[in-house]
Structure 1
Amino acid sequence: MEIVLYILTTVLTFIVMEVVTWCTHKFVMHGFLWALHADHHEPKYPHVFEKNDTFFVIFAIPSVLLLYFGISPELNYLFFIGLGILFYGIAYFLVHDVLIHQRFKWFKNVKNRYLLALRKAHKIHHKNMGKEDGECFGMLLVPKKYFTKN
């Protein structure tokens, strides 16, 4: 029974991270930390890394701490919360940096309807180059209107 609770904790944490990501993107990245996120909205940022990549570190810190404190002195629920954050971070990297922005050319010819809608929603997000008036701040939940053919 304990393992089921740990798995549910990991899955629930992963799901909650979508809400955390949406809020962080809208109110922090497009808010008081715009200076770190702005280069991500530039058409062709000339460097391998962006200032925006700092957010990977920011999100990794609680995950690492939870994983660490979740195994000491014995395995506990903190580990599985950290694991859910880690899994979301991996998904974020694969979806956002690999699939959407093609920072790594691994998934070039995607034909999946959901993944195409996800790309379209993110493209709409980047259509607005500024800090205000953005839309589509989440990563995995895509509004229905982006599933159209056009």
Structure 2
Amino acid sequence: MHWTTGLPLFFATILAMELVAYVAHRWVMHGFGWFLHESHHRPRTGHWELNDLYAVIFAIPSFILLLGGVQLGWWPGFTWIGAGIAGYGAIYFGFHDVIVHRRIATRYLPKSSYMKRIIQAHRLHHVVETKAGTVSFGFLWAPRPEVLKAELKRRQHAGVRAPAGRPDAVPID
């Protein structure tokens, strides 16, 4: 497959993965897969959490498509799709694990309104410690923080953790 066809397929896959990630996060991780994802909504002790197994699970289709497209003679587009899934995984890791959760030390400070918004939306997602009641399930797109705060307030802050040192406080206004 020529790169002029493959590259758009690669980028389309990255965009499509945001929808896949949203669906997986909302209905799998906060659904029947909560037993793994719950560790991500609790303080981490050590470098790893049970939720990290999702990275392995989501890497499997990428690996299979790359293997099939490169080594097994499958349709060459599978190589580009597998690479797009891996590309999304790399973007996710950089944004989610490095920038938001600082699992790798960095001096990065968000300056653009987009980065500030997406980071704040993800932090608002994490103020809820329970399986239900969470807002903002996307990773590269999120509603404005004001919308998310209003939704948490509408839900009467169900599942929202209290600020550190103030167990009786209502955390978000």
TM-score by length of 1: 0.91
- Note the C-alpha offset of 1:10: 0.5
- Unpaired stretches in structure 1, ≥5 consecutive residues: none
Letter in 1 for 2:29: M
Aligned position for 2:48? 49
Q: Is the 8 A contact 1:117 1:146 kept in 2?
A: no
Task: Find the aligned partners of 2:114 and 2:146 in 1 and give their Cα distance.
Answer: 9
Letter in 2 for 1:9: L
- Distance verdict in 2 for CA 1:115–1:74, change over 3 Å: same
* Higher share in helix: 1
Task: Find the aligned partners of 2:75 and 2:141 in 1 and give their Cα distance.
Answer: 32
Aligned position for 1:76? 76
- Unpaired stretches in structure 2, ≥5 consecutive residues: 148-173
Q: Is the 8 A contact 1:98 1:107 kept in 2?
A: no
Alignment of 1:34 onto 2:29: no
Aligned position for 1:98? 98
Task: Find the aligned partners of 2:90 and 2:136 in 1 and give their Cα distance.
Answer: 20
| Between 69-78 and 4-13, the greater mean CA deviation after superposition | 69-78
Task: Find the aligned partners of 1:127 and 1:66 in 2 and give their Cα distance.
Answer: 36
Task: Find the aligned partners of 2:60 and 2:134 in 1 and give their Cα distance.
Answer: 27
Task: Find the aligned partners of 2:36 and 2:22 in 1 and give their Cα distance.
Answer: 17
RCO comparison, higher one (Cα < 8 Å, 6+): 1
Task: Find the aligned partners of 1:107 and 1:94 in 2 and give their Cα distance.
Answer: 13
- Note the C-alpha offset of 1:74: 7.0
Secondary structure at the aligned position of 1:70 is classed as helix
TM-score by length of 2: 0.79
Secondary structure at the aligned position of 2:46 is classed as coil
Aligned residues: 146
- Note the C-alpha offset of 1:145: 4.3
Q: Is the 8 A contact 1:120 1:146 kept in 2?
A: no
- Note the C-alpha offset of 1:129: 0.5
Task: Find the aligned partners of 1:104 and 1:66 in 2 and give their Cα distance.
Answer: 29
Identity of aligned residues (%): 36
Q: Is the 8 A contact 1:118 1:140 kept in 2?
A: yes
Alignment of 1:112 onto 2:112: yes
Alignment of 1:135 onto 2:111: no
Q: Is the 8 A contact 1:110 1:116 kept in 2?
A: yes
Q: Is the 8 A contact 1:118 1:146 kept in 2?
A: no
Alignment of 1:7 onto 2:12: no
Task: Find the aligned partners of 1:12 and 1:35 in 2 and give their Cα distance.
Answer: 31
Aligned position for 1:22? 22
After the TM superposition, which segments of 4 or more aligned residues of structure 1 sit over 3 Å from their partners? 144-147
- Note the C-alpha offset of 1:133: 1.0
